[in-house]
Structure formats: C-alpha cells, structure tokens
Amino acid sequence: MYGIDMKFTVQALLTRGFSQRQIAKELSISRKTVRKFKEEIDNNSILTPQIDRYKKLDPYHEEIKEWISMGKTGVLIRESLATKHGVQVGYSTISRYLQQFKTSEVYIPLIIPPGEEGQVDFGYIGRFDKDGKLVKVWSFSMILSNSRYSYHKIVTDQSVNTFIKCHIEAFEYFGGSPKTVKLDNLKAGVISPSFYEPTIQRQYAEFLHHYNSVPITARIRRGQDKGKVEAGVKYVKNNFLKRIQHQDYYQLEKDLLDWTNNICNKRIHGTIKKVPVEVFYSIEKPKLSPLPMARYEIFKIEHRKVNNYGHICFNNNFYSVPSKFICKTLIVKSTGTILKIYDDTQEVAVHPVCSENGKFISIPEHRPLEKQGKTEQEYIQRAKDFGIHTHEFLKQVQNEKPYQWQRIMAGIFHLQHLYSKEIVEKACVRALDYKVISYTSVKNICKNNLYDKKEESLAVKCSNGFAHELTKYDSLIN
C-alpha cells in the first residue's frame, strides 16, 4: 500500500513530462500502479499533501502582533523574546515569521498629462573599447511620461556636467522641455535625498530653470515613483544590448541612436498600446516648453579658499577678489574661458581665464582702500584739496623726482593726520620759496613751526662777497 507521498511524487513527475514507463522505473513500482495513480490524478482525487509544521514562535503570536503595532522592528522583537521569554532564535527566523503580518501595498497608476513630466536615470551596460582601453559604460535615459517617447545616450561617467549635457541633448531631441523632471537621488542632481525637501545640486537647478523646468525627486527606495524610466532602462538592456555583437564604444553610440529612432520609439508600447512617436507628435510635443534662445552654458563648479593676498588659485593661476573675502571659501564657476566667483549666490568677481601658469590676475579695486593704487588725476585732485601751492609742489616733485613723486606726495597727504590742511599748504609755500622739494622739508617746516615766519634771504654778506647761511637750510631739511 502506497501512501499519499508516493502518489504526490507520481503527480509531480507526470507534471514534469515523465512517461509512465519512466516513472515506474524511477520509483521502482509497476506500471499498473503508475496508471492507477494517473487515473486518480485525472479524477482530482489526489490532493496536495498538507504538512503540519509546528512553529516555535506560534505561542507568542499575539504578543508579536502587539509589538508590531507598537512599531518595533524585527531586531527589537528578537531581543524582547530573548529577554522576556528566553526564546533564542535567529534573525532570519524572525524575519520569515513577520512576513505573515505584512499586507501588500496597493499602487495607484499615475496618469501624467502631456508635456508635464520627463523621467531620467542611468543604467550600467558593461565595458566597451574606447581609444584602446576598456571603459565602464552607462546609458542615460529620459522618457516623457505621457507618450513614452524616449531619448537614450551612452556615457562613461555620471558627473554633474555629463548629467546636464545629456539633459540638453534630450531636450533638443524632443524639441522642447517638460515642465518637471523626475529623477532618482543621483549625486549629480541631488545633494541631500529627502522626499519632502531634497537639496538639489545648485547648477542642476539653475540649468532646469534656464529651460523653464523644475526637478522632482523620487522617494527613497520607491522605484515605482519613476517606473517608466526604470522600465526604459531595462528595455535598453534587454532589447538593444542583446543585439550588440561588438565592443566598439563609438559604434555603440551610432547603434543606440539608430535603435532609439527606428525601434524603441516606433514599437507598440506594452503599457499604452500605442506607438510612442505617433503619440509624441500628435499630443505631447505641442505641450512642451519651447527651447530657450541660447543653450545653457555648463560651468565647472568648485570651491576655493581666498589666500592672504586676496586671490584664489584656479588652474595654476591666481585671481583677485575683494579684500573683505580674505580667508573665506568661495564658489568658482568656469566655462574654460570665463571665471566667475561667487559668495553663495552673489557674484563677487569675473575674470578671463589665463592660459599661462603662475600669473596673478588682479583688479586694483579689489585691494583694501588704503592699498589701492591711485591715478595721477587722483593725486592732482587731492593736492588741490590742500591748496594751489600744494598742487604746485606736486608738479615740482614730478619734475625733479619722476620715479618717487607718488610716494613723496603720499607722505605729504599723510601729514594731515598731524597738522591741518592749512598748515601743510603753508609749509609747501615755504618749501617752494626755498626750493627744498622733499617730503622731509615739508615735514620739518610743519614740525618747527616755520610756516608762519616771514620770508628770509638765505644769502649773507661776507669778506669774500655773498655766501649762503647754511644753518637756515638745516632748519628746513634736518
């Protein structure tokens, strides 16, 4: 007499396509017995055996259910069982037992109006030969959620610049841009992933604003939020990639574009049951935002600390910023020809990028006020503020000392901190009278109160004629 287990085994072998002869030989039973079991199976008289298994955690079922309602995790439930009841089980056992308490989530299909949303993602597709070297290759995909019209491109990295460049090419392929772009929490687009308030990478946000679009992030570990592009990435791998019989990167670029145009966008889509290219041109394209007059200019964005000279270092050269930013860290953006420097969102300096090395590119206005070089006109105006004789003194200094006049006049102007402008003006009058054109002369005239004395002749009579009384010079220049 054969039990239910033998009958179930015969049923399983018949399902797998075994003949009655093969089953008899395999189980060492007669073909008559096999035929009898088959008749019972055909008459549905054999049921699937029910195995009554005792579960170690069944005595604590209600208590576990209560802990779940309190929000306890599997790890905490395992600890509670060990502490309260001395039950020692592995975490995998707890995890399997908790499966019965889970309810399957119901998903609501998202119907997106035309021109409203595009979804983007990367998918790794393998290594290909580029310039004699095997490189990792990803496919970038953007899919318009309404029509399922898509754009695909292969790339060798997932940097911000590459991410933005792919978007630009996708928008130009569509001839417009959707109002929103839904993306995964990619580092190229999102700095801090959060469904409620993600921190979007600054340049990516600026780029989308340029194209009259805004970013929306999918929820963390919620692939269904951007299921259309994830399905598109899988389609690239399962339909396009399996057609490829070579390892040439540049040929792969051409093949992907051809596949996108002639297969991907022209097949009947499995979900909408329509041809994406037809839906796109008839319904979605008119709803896209028009492209801007000029392409978005992609900047290389970095951070730089301002040194004690008031400059930041960029590509082996030094560029000035206003002196108040010394020792601060600023944002630098470069297109390769223009360098823009920002304090957060405020632009503080713009320089042409220097092609040489080790150069200081400085703007005089960036220096502290006390260290900014003044023009000749500024010196003249400052001298006139003291008086006409100070201006005359400046002209004499320029004639006699053409390489030092700026420093000498700076010293004259600085005397204002010790004496009034009127005193300095009178001192210049006396210095001009005695033709002692120097900073020291004017300073000593002010110091020794000689500016109010009447003009005296420096010549005195002696036995040999006229000579100069040198002591009077001493009072002026010593």
Angle at which helix 405-414 crosses helix 439-447, to 10 degrees, equals 20
Structure tokens at 195: 């469904």
Check pLDDT > 80 for residue 356.
Answer: yes
Q: What secondary structure does DSSP assign to 75-130, as a single string? A: HHHHHHHHHHH-----HHHHHHHHGGG--PPPPPP--PPTTSEEEEEEEEEEEEEE
Task: Specify the amino acid at residue 111.
Answer: I
pTM of the model: 0.51
Measured in degrees and rounded to the nearest 5, phi and psi for residue 190 equal -125, 125
* pLDDT single digits (tens) 384-414: 999 999 999 999 999 998 888 888 998 999 9
- In which residue are the tokens 């928008």 written? 171
- pLDDT-wise least confident of 49-53, 101-105, 179-183, 224-228: 49-53
Q: Within 10 Å of residue 226's Cβ, how many Cβ atoms?
A: 24
Percent of the chain clearing pLDDT 70 (strictly above): 82
Specify the higher pLDDT residue, 208 or 12.
208
Question: Mean of the per-residue pLDDT values for the chain?
Answer: 81
Question: Which of these, 445, 444, 434, 439, lies nearest to 470 by C-alpha position?
Answer: 434
- 200: pLDDT strictly greater than 50: no
Half-sphere exposure in the Cβ direction for 206 (13 Å, CA): 13
Higher pLDDT, 171 or 190: 171
Task: Looking at mean pLDDT, say which of 218-227, 339-348, 418-427 comes out highest.
Answer: 418-427
Convert the pLDDT of each residue in 72-111 to its tens digit. Answer: 778 788 888 888 888 888 878 888 888 877 765 544 455 7
Q: For residue 6, give the nearest of 16, 17, 24, 42 by alpha carbon.
A: 24
Candidates 3.90.960.10, 3.40.50.1110, 3.30.420.10, 3.40.50.1100; CATH matching 117-287? 3.30.420.10
Task: Tally Cβ neighbours within 10 Å of residue 175.
Answer: 12
3 vs 379, higher pLDDT: 379
Q: Is the pLDDT of residue 167 over 90?
A: yes
Percent of the chain whose pLDDT exceeds 90: 34
pLDDT digits (tens, 9 = 90+) for 302-328: 889 999 888 999 888 999 999 889 889
What's the mean pLDDT in 196-212?
A: 69
pLDDT of residue 21: 85
Six-digit token pair at 473?
A: 């010079």
CATH node for 4-42? 1.10.10
The phi, psi pair for 27, rounded to 5°, reads -100, 0
- In this prediction, residue 456 has a pLDDT band, given cuts at 50, 70 and 90, of low
Average pLDDT of 336-340? 85
- Going by their DSSP bridges, the two strands 459-462 and 465-468 should be labelled as antiparallel
Specify the pLDDT at position 276.
94
Q: Which of 336, 332, 337 is nearest to 312 (CA)?
A: 332
Count the Cβ atoms, other than its own, within 10 Å of residue 53.
6
* Dist. CA 446–CA 421, nearest whole Å: 11
How do strand 346-352 and strand 338-343 relate by DSSP bridges? antiparallel
Phi, psi of 304 (to 5 degrees): -140, 140
Crossing angle for the helix pair 4-15 and 31-42, to the nearest 10 degrees: 80
Nearest alpha carbon to residue 139 among 245, 261, 230: 230
How far is 100 from 103, CA to CA, in rounded Å?
8
Strands 317-320 and 360-361: parallel
Distance CA 422, CA 424 (A): 5
What pLDDT does residue 458 have? 40
Q: Specify the 3-state DSSP secondary structure of 302.
A: strand
Listed by start position, the domains of the chain span 4-42, 58-101, 117-287, 300-370, 376-477
Number of other residues whose CB lies within 10 A of the CB of residue 151: 24
Between 283 and 72, the more confident residue is 283
pLDDT for residue 144 is more than 90: yes
pLDDT at 113 over 80: yes
Same-fold call for 4-42 versus 117-287: no
Three-class DSSP category at 318: strand
Distant-in-sequence, close-in-space partners of 365: CB < 8 Å, separation ≥ 6: 322, 372
Q: Rounded mean pLDDT of 367-372?
A: 68
